[in-house]
C-alpha cells in the first residue's frame, strides 16, 4: 500500500510539465530563425534587383521596371534609377525587411548596389 510519502515523490507528469515549459522557448526560437531567413532573403533580393536594374540601364533600358520584375510581390522596390557616368552605370535599390510575414510591416531598409559598363553601339 502506498503512503503519502510515496505519492509526494512520484514523478508522473514531469515530462508534460517540462514540455509545457519549453514550448514558448521552442516557438520563440522558430520565430527568430524565420526572421533571420527573411533578412537574408531580402538581402539576396536587393542585390539581384540591383544587378538586373544595372544590366537594363547599361543598354538604355528601364532600370526600375527591371528591378521590379525580379522582386516578389510582398517586397516593394524603391530606387533602381539609372545613374553614373558616361562609361559606367550605378544603381541603388532599397527594400524593406518584413516582420515575420512578407508584405506586412518592416524592420529596416536593405540597400543593394550594382554597377555595369554602359554599352554603346559603334559604327563598323
Q: Residue 40: how many CB atoms within 10 A of its CB?
A: 12
Q: Is 67 a member of any domain?
A: yes
3-state helix, strand and coil shares in percent for the chain, rounded to the nearest 5: 45, 15, 35
Please indicate, yes or no, if residue 123 is contained in any of the structural domains. no
Q: How many domains does the chain have?
A: 1
Question: Which pLDDT does position 26 carry in this prediction?
Answer: 94
Residue 85 lies in a domain: yes
Q: What is the pTM of this model?
A: 0.76
Q: Is 124 among the domain residues? A: no
Has residue 68 been placed in a domain? yes
25/86 Cα distance (integer angstroms) = 56
Q: Is residue 65 part of a domain?
A: yes
Q: Would 18 be classed as within a structural domain?
A: yes
Cα separation, 51 vs 3, in Å, equals 76
The kind and range of the H/E element at 94 are strand 88-96
- Per the domain annotation, does 122 fall within a domain? no
Given its phi and psi angles, is residue 4 left (phi above 0), alpha (psi -120 to 50 degrees) or beta?
alpha
Provide the residue range defining the domain that includes 108. 4-117
pLDDT for the residue numbered 25: 93
The reported pLDDT for the residue numbered 27 is: 94
Point out the residues of the chain with pLDDT beneath 50: none
Amino acid at each position: 500500500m502506498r503512503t503519502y510519502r510515496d505519492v509526494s515523490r512520484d514523478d508522473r507528469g514531469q515530462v508534460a510539465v517540462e514540455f509545457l515549459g519549453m514550448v514558448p522557448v521552442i516557438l520563440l526560437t522558430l520565430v527568430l530563425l524565420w526572421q533571420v531567413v527573411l533578412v537574408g532573403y531580402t538581402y539576396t533580393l536587393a542585390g539581384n534587383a540591383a544587378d538586373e536594374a544595372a544590366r537594363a540601364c547599361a543598354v538604355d533600358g528601364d532600370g526600375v521596371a527591371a528591378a521590379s520584375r525580379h522582386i516578389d510581390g510582398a517586397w516593394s522596390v524603391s530606387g533602381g534609377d539609372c545613374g553614373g557616368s558616361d562609361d559606367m552605370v550605378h544603381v541603388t535599390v532599397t527594400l524593406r525587411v518584413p516582420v515575420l510575414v512578407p508584405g506586412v510591416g518592416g524592420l529596416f531598409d536593405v540597400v543593394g548596389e550594382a554597377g555595369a559598363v554602359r554599352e554603346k553601339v559603334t559604327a563598323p
